[in-house]
Amino acid sequence: QSALTQPAPVSGSPGQSITISCTGTSNDVGGYNLVSWYQQYPGKAPKLLIYEVTERPSGVSNRFSGSKSGNTASLTISGLQAEDEADYYCCSYARNNIWIFGGGTKVTVL
């Protein structure tokens, strides 16, 4: 049950687009369309941003979008804003009814 692989800190300027990858295996990310993404501010609980790879819950900005190719899922933040500075985690359902989180990616807005 190794953590999914996410990149080290990612930064961007306001208005830019950034993409965070989440790499797993065929037993998790690649095997199911059950990848979700969470945003977390320091000292706060995580918030669901994307579910089932591409779907956005109501109330989540359409600047956030998800995709998947093979064993790698991605979260793209378009039109980066100061309020997007936070930690982002991917999570995938995996074989044998378990879930696996990624190690997290800190996003900095320059």
Partner 1 sequence: EVQLVESGGGLVQPGGSLRLSCAASGFTFSNYWMHWVRQVLGKGLMWVSRIDTDGSETTYADSVKGRFTISRDNTKNTLYLQIIGLRAEDSGVYYCARDPVIPDGMDVWGQGTTVLVSS
Binding site for partner 1 (CB under 8 A): 1, 3, 34, 36, 38, 40, 45-48, 50-52, 55, 57, 89, 91, 93, 96-104
Minimum distance of partner 1 from residue 11's CB (angstroms): 19
Length of the chain: 110
Q: Give the HSE-up count for residue 27: Cα atoms under 13 Å, Cβ half-sphere.
A: 10
Minimum distance of partner 1 from residue 67's CB (angstroms): 16
Q: What is the rounded distance in angstroms from the CA atom of residue 92 to the CA atom of residue 32? A: 8
**Which CB sits closer to partner 1, 13 or 59?**
59
Minimum distance of partner 1 from residue 6's CB (angstroms): 9
Q: What is the rounded distance in angstroms from the CA atom of residue 34 to the CA atom of residue 39? A: 17
